[in-house]
Amino acid sequence: MFPVKQPWLCKALGCYDCCVRCLGAVPYASLAATLLCYAGVALFCAGGHQALTHTDTLVQMHFARTLQDYMVLADFIKYFQYVIYGLASFFFLYGILLLAEGFYTTSAIKQTFGEFRSTQCSRCLSLTFIVVTFVLAVIWLVVFVFAAIPVYFLYNMAETCHTVNILSETTTSLSQHGWVCVDARQFGLLPWSATPGKVCGMTMANICKTPEFYVTYDFYIAAFAGAGITLLALVLYIVATTYNYAVLRFLGRKGIRC
C-alpha cells in the first residue's frame, strides 16, 4: 500500500518525505502482533503435535496395559492433532486479515490517502474484528490454562524421580522409596479403572532417564509457551484495533474525512 496516489506529488515531496509518509502508514502494533501470533501458533502447533505423539507412547508403555484403559486419551490425541492442523491454517489467514485491517485503519487515521474515506461499513468491520479477536483471546486463555496441566504433571514426575534417586543413594532398601509414586489417574489423564495407572520407585526413576521423557517434557513446555505468546498477540491485536476504531469514531463525529 503506497500512501500517495499521485506520482507527481512524490517528486514534489522528495524521496525522504515519501518514505516518512510510507513508514507513518505502517501499523507497527498490528505488525508486531502478527509476528507474535505466527510465532506462538507455530510453536504451539508443532510442540503440541509432537508432545501428544510421545505422550501416546509413554502412556502405552508404562501407565496402561490394555488399549481399553487409554482409549479415551488415544482418541483425544488423534482428534486434537487434526484440530492443530486446522488451527494453524485458520490463524495464518486471520493474521493476514488483521494486518490488512491495521493497514487500512492506520492509513485512514494518518489521512495520507487523499480521497480515501472511512465509511460506516468499514467501522462496522473493524468492530467485528474486535469482537472476534476478544472471543479468540478468551478461548486461548482457556487453552493456555489447560496447556499447563501436562507441564505440571511432567514437572511433578521429574521432581518425584529426583526424590527417588536421592533415597536410592542413601539407602539400599526398596521399601524406602518403593512407596513414592506418580498416578496419572489423579490428573485425569486415565480413568480410575486403568491398570496400573501409576509408576513407583525405581521404575519411575528409570522412565525419567529415558530420552522420550525429556523430549515430551520439552515439547509440552514449547506448546505452553506458544499458547502464552499467542494470547499476548491477541491482546495486542485487541488494543491496536480498539484504539484505531475509537479514533475513527472520533473523526467521524467531528465530521473529518479520513
Look at residue 218 and tell me if it is in a domain.
no
Look at residue 220 and tell me if it is in a domain.
no
Mean pLDDT of 135-153: 91
Mean pLDDT of 241-252: 71
Look at residue 12 and tell me if it is in a domain.
no
Residue 80: predicted pLDDT: 85
**pLDDT at residue 242 is higher than 70:** yes
Residue 252: predicted pLDDT: 56
Residue 76: predicted pLDDT: 82
Q: Which domain holds residue 54?
A: 17-209
Residue 125: predicted pLDDT: 74
CA dist 63 → 59, 73, 200 (Å): 5, 12, 11
Distance CA(23)–CA(250), nearest Å, equals: 23
Mean pLDDT of 174-199: 73
Confidence class for position 257, pLDDT limits 50, 70, 90: very low
Grid coordinates of 210: 529415558
Confidence class for position 253, pLDDT limits 50, 70, 90: low
Mean pLDDT of 230-254: 78
Mean pLDDT of 216-238: 92
Number of folded domains that form the chain: 1
**pLDDT at residue 160 is higher than 50:** yes
Residue 44: predicted pLDDT: 93
**Contact partners, residue 154, CB within 8 Å, separation at least 6:** 213, 216, 217, 220
* pLDDT tens track for 2-36: 344 445 444 445 565 556 555 555 667 778 888 89
Mean pLDDT of 164-175: 68
- Please count the other Cβ atoms lying within 10 Å of the Cβ belonging to residue 146: 11
Look at residue 41 and tell me if it is in a domain.
yes
What is the pTM assigned to this prediction?
0.77
Look at residue 145 and tell me if it is in a domain.
yes
Mean pLDDT of 127-152: 90
**pLDDT at residue 186 is higher than 70:** yes
* pLDDT tens track for 60-118: 787 777 777 777 777 888 888 888 888 888 888 888 888 777 776 665 555 544 444 55
Confidence class for position 189, pLDDT limits 50, 70, 90: confident
Look at residue 216 and tell me if it is in a domain.
no
**Contact partners, residue 128, CB within 8 Å, separation at least 6:** none
Look at residue 127 and tell me if it is in a domain.
yes
**Contact partners, residue 220, CB within 8 Å, separation at least 6:** 47, 48, 51, 147, 150, 151, 154
Look at residue 256 and tell me if it is in a domain.
no
Q: What is the mean pLDDT of the chain?
A: 76
Distance CA(70)–CA(65), nearest Å, equals: 9
Q: Which of 41-50, 173-182, 198-207 has the highest mean pLDDT?
A: 41-50
